[in-house]
C-alpha cells in the first residue's frame, strides 16, 4: 500500500511516497513553493524513476502553507503535526524539534507518547529563517551551500546584532566595507540565526537532545551555532527538508489503517 505526502511551503515544495507506512520509496524537492507550479512539479519529480502513478496512492495528505491548494490531495493536516510525526519516524524518542524553513521557524515540544504538547513560531519577520540566510549569502557573494564551510573558518565572529533582515543586510554591507573577513561575517550571521531560533526553543523548553528539520538543518554552521547557543546535542534528521511531507505520508497511512 502506497501513500503520498505533499508539503507546500513558502519557498519550496516537497513530496514523499511511503510504502506500508514503513519504507520511503521516493522523495523530491522543488525550490518553489505556494502560489506557484511547485505542487505539480514536485508530483512529477517524485514519481520519476518509479513505476507508480497517482492512481496507485491509497491516500494523499497535504501540509504546509499551501496545503489547501493541492487539488489532488484527499485531506490536509497542519505542518506542526506533520513535522512532529516525520521527525519521530527518523529520530525515534525525540521530544524537542526545531524546524527552520524558508520563511518561518517552528519549535515543537512533544510528550513521551509523541503528542504535540506545545509549539512556538516566529513572527512575520524573516530573521532566523532560510530566507535570512539566502539574503546574506547573496550580499556576501557566497553560494548558500557553502555558507556552512565559511562558518567553520572563522576565528573571530563579527557581531550581527540586527534581528530584522533588512537592517541585518545593511549591517553586513557595513562590515564588508570595513574589510572584516567574510568568514567572520558569515559566523556572525549564523550566530544571529541561532539566537533567534534558540529563543523559540527556550519558550517550549528543551528536554534531552534537539532534533532539527527543514532546509536550515542542511547548513552545518546553523546546526553548530544552535548547539552552542543552547548547550545541547543537536541531531539532524536524515532528510530534513522533507520531514513535513514524510509526516503527511505517515498520517495518510494511519488514516487508512484506522
Q: What is the pLDDT of residues 46-67, one digit of tens each?
A: 999 899 999 999 999 999 988 9
* Per-residue model confidence as pLDDT tens digits over 109-131: 999 888 999 999 886 555 567 77
Which CATH number fits the domain that encloses residue 14? 3.30.420.40
- Give the mean pLDDT of 16-25: 96
- DSSP per-residue codes, 54-118: GGGEEEEEEESTTGGG-TT-SEE--HHHHHHHHHHHHSTT--EEEEE-SS-EEEEEE-TTS-EEE
The verdict on 98 and 219 lying in the same domain is yes
- Give the mean pLDDT of 168-183: 90
Share above pLDDT 70 across residues of the chain, in percent, rounded to a whole number? 95
Total structural domains within the chain: 2
Burial status of residue 74 (CB atoms within 10 A of its CB: 0-12, 13-18, 19 or more): middle
The verdict on 73 and 178 lying in the same domain is no
The verdict on 228 and 243 lying in the same domain is no
**What residues make up the domain containing 252?**
1-90+237-257
Q: What pLDDT is recorded for position 126?
A: 59
The verdict on 128 and 149 lying in the same domain is yes
Distance of alpha carbon 22 from its chain centroid, rounded? Answer: 22
- Give the mean pLDDT of 69-90: 93
d(CA 20, CA 215): 26
- Give the mean pLDDT of 143-161: 92
- Give the mean pLDDT of 157-185: 85
The verdict on 84 and 105 lying in the same domain is no
The verdict on 122 and 196 lying in the same domain is yes
- Give the mean pLDDT of 150-157: 94
Q: Tell me: pLDDT of 161 over 80.
A: no
- Give the mean pLDDT of 124-150: 83
Return the higher-pLDDT residue of 36 and 115.
115
> Do 189 and 172 touch, CB atoms closer than 8 A?
yes
- Give the mean pLDDT of 198-213: 90
Q: Kindly report the average pLDDT of the chain as a whole number.
A: 90
The verdict on 245 and 196 lying in the same domain is no
Q: What pLDDT is recorded for position 97?
A: 95
Q: What pLDDT is recorded for position 130?
A: 72
Q: What pLDDT is recorded for position 238?
A: 86
The verdict on 228 and 252 lying in the same domain is no
**Taking the model in full, what pTM does it have?**
0.89
The verdict on 200 and 248 lying in the same domain is no
Q: Tell me: pLDDT of 258 over 70.
A: no
Amino acid at each position: 500500500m502506497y501513500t503520498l505526502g505533499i508539503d507546500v511551503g513558502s519557498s519550496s515544495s516537497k513530496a514523499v511516497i511511503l510504502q506500508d507506512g514503513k519504507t520511503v520509496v521516493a522523495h523530491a524537492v522543488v525550490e518553489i513553493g505556494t502560489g506557484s507550479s511547485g505542487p505539480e512539479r514536485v508530483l512529477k519529480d517524485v514519481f520519476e524513476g518509479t513505476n507508480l502513478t497517482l492512481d496507485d496512492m491509497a491516500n494523499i495528505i497535504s501540509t504546509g502553507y499551501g496545503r489547501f491548494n493541492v487539488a489532488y490531495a484527499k485531506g490536509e493536516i497542519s505542518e506542526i503535526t506533520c513535522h512532529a510525526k516525520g521527525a519521530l519516524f527518523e529520530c525515534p524518542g525525540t521530544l524537542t524539534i526545531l524546524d527552520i524553513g524558508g520563511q518561518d521557524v517552528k519549535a515543537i515540544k512533544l510528550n513521551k507518547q509523541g503528542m504535540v504538547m506545545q509549539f512556538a513560531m516566529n513572527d512575520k519577520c524573516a530573521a532566523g529563517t532560510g530566507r535570512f540566510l539566502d539574503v546574506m549569502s547573496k550580499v556576501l557573494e557566497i553560494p548558500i551551500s557553502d555558507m556552512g564551510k565559511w562558518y567553520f573558518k572563522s576565528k573571530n565572529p563579527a557581531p550581527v546584532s540586527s534581528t530584522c533582515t533588512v537592517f541585518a543586510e545593511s549591517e553586513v554591507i557595513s562590515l564588508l566595507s570595513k574589510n572584516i573577513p567574510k568568514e567572520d561575517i558569515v559566523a556572525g550571521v549564523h550566530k544571529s540565526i541561532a539566537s533567534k531560533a534558540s529563543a523559540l526553543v527556550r519558550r517550549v523548553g528543551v528536554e534531552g537532545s534537539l532534533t532539527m528539520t527543514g532546509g536550515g538543518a542542511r547548513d552545518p554552521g546553523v546546526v553548530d551555532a544552535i548547539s552552542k547557543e543552547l548547550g545541547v546535542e543537536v541531531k539532524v534528521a536524515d532528510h530534513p527538508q522533507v520531514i513535513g511531507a514524510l509526516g503527511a505520508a505517515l498520517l495518510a497511512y494511519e488514516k487508512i489503517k484506522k
